[in-house]
Chain A
């Protein structure tokens, strides 16, 4: 299984590449006033607005550094009814993929206190790498805010 690796702060995380549509360079987002924490705004991707979430802001309350290796990961976010929405995630050090069997990831042992999107971890020479589940990335309220309005319009 292939994973896309990125960093939030000093730690490494991975996403399943099946959920990733494209990795984009950093671009300007239109600020959406009044949106919940973590959401930067919306980017114009091929004429369609895509909500942009800064993973650094979501997880640590600190924006990703504006350097070349900080990129936007365009993922397909399942809407629960078989369809999917595009979701843009801003993360640091989006420069590497790794191939690992899913069984290599083991539970952290501290699931109870951590956000739902953080999955099991994989150990390698550089430390631990944590699996981020795209489908659990948004809280139900955030999901409602980002995608429900689009369906009504």
Chain B
């Protein structure tokens, strides 16, 4: 395997990660790239009224996965997404919600289980068995009060317009129904967008 891998430029030549990133960033635009994005952004998001208000038109959430469940939280409750860390359990705190404390860049944070709060199965999903996924520790909070919880995967920031919001079905199952603010269409599936304030409130109550 001495020939350079087409999907992996620079690998064969022993290039560093930085050099590979450089190559990827500096590669010319693929054919049709500009045209496709031009078409994409020419579409009017939601109703035409909304496109005149700079802020009301799109919202942004961070989409992450716990077990089999894809969930979304508004970006403004997010403080940090960190690599997973070992947590230290606390004496006499053996309930499902509070796992213990974690050290995030020198700051000790309470580590909770969002899965336990929402009642979703925290078992790692087998759906992406062929795909490499990366577990992450997510830090959320407000006004300096921060908590951390582990997730199985973070997709990233997703922006959505009003046309992608679907009302929560009345027959929503056990999985965090009361915390779900809306359903968002994402990549051919529906993601439960959680109410950030309600989740933080519930975590505060659970920790105390």
Contact = CB atoms under 8 A, between A and B. Distances in A.
Contact of B25 (A26, A28, A69, A84): A69
Contacts of B35: 28
Interface stretch (B9-17, B40-48, B96-104, B172-180): B40-48
20 contacts: A22-B159, A26-B37, A27-B37, A27-B41, A28-B35, A44-B41, A46-B43, A46-B51, A46-B57, A47-B42, A47-B48, A48-B52, A66-B28, A66-B29, A67-B25, A67-B28, A67-B29, A68-B24, A68-B26, A68-B29
Interface in A42-72: 43-48, 66-69
B34 interface: yes
B169 interface: no
A85 to B, nearest CB: 9
Given A27-B34, A47-B48, A84-B54, A67 B41 contact: no
Interface residues of A, number: 22
A95 interface: yes
B127 interface: no
A68 B41 contact: no
B34 A26 contact: yes
Contacts of B57: 46
B53 to A, nearest CB: 11
A133 interface: no
Contacts of A95: 25
Nearest to A70: B29
A67 B43 CA distance: 24
Contacts of A43: 38, 41
B41 A24 contact: yes
Contacts of B37: 24-27
Interface of B: 24-29, 33-35, 37-38, 41-45, 48, 51-52, 54, 57, 159
A12 interface: no
B41 A45 contact: yes
Interface of A: 21-22, 24-28, 43-48, 66-69, 76, 84, 86, 93, 95
B76 to A, nearest CB: 14
A68 B25 contact: yes
Contacts of A44: 38, 41-42
Nearest to A28: B38
Contacts of A46: 41-45, 51, 57
Contact of B33 (A25, A47, A76, A84): A25
A47 B44 contact: yes
Given A21-B54, A68-B25, 5 more contacts: A27-B34, A47-B42, A67-B28, A67-B29, A69-B26
Nearest to B28: A67
Given A26-B33, A67-B25, A68-B24, A76 B54 contact: yes
A130 B25 CA distance: 22
B43 A26 contact: no
Contacts of A27: 34, 37-38, 41
B31 to A, nearest CB: 12
Contacts of A24: 37, 41
Contacts of A84: 54
Contacts of B27: 67-68
Contacts of A67: 25-29
